[in-house]
Amino acid sequence: MGSEWDFTWGLSGQALIDAQGSGATYEEWEEIARQEKREQWEKLKKLRDSNQITQEEFKKRKTELFND
């Protein structure tokens, strides 16, 4: 059985401090951000496919989403 701090194994210095302060490593935060962007993309496509937003609005939001 592991500890709630197992994710900090092998980290040192600022990476360790940041992980302990935020609850995740840099790599985990990057994956979380990718998943959130994927979810936003799926929602945006559903809005477009159901004609809830115009094609112009879709393009605008798509540009905003992928230029962050």
Domain count, the chain: 1
In a domain, 29, yes or no: yes
pTM reported for the whole predicted model: 0.70
Does 35 have pLDDT greater than 80?
yes
pLDDT number for residue 63: 95
Q: What is the extent of the structural domain holding 17?
A: 8-66
> Which alpha helices (H) appear in 1-68, and where do they start and end?
13-22, 26-49, 55-66
What is the pLDDT confidence band of residue 5, given thresholds at 50, 70 and 90?
confident
- Spatial contact of 11 and 22, defined as CB atoms under 8 Å apart: no
In a domain, 51, yes or no: yes
In a domain, 25, yes or no: yes
In a domain, 52, yes or no: yes
In a domain, 1, yes or no: no
In a domain, 57, yes or no: yes
What is the pLDDT confidence band of residue 9, given thresholds at 50, 70 and 90?
confident
Query: Could you tell me which residues come within 8 angstroms of residue 37 by beta carbon, excluding any fewer than 6 positions away?
Result: 65, 66, 68
- pLDDT: is 37 or 7 the higher one? 37
In a domain, 28, yes or no: yes
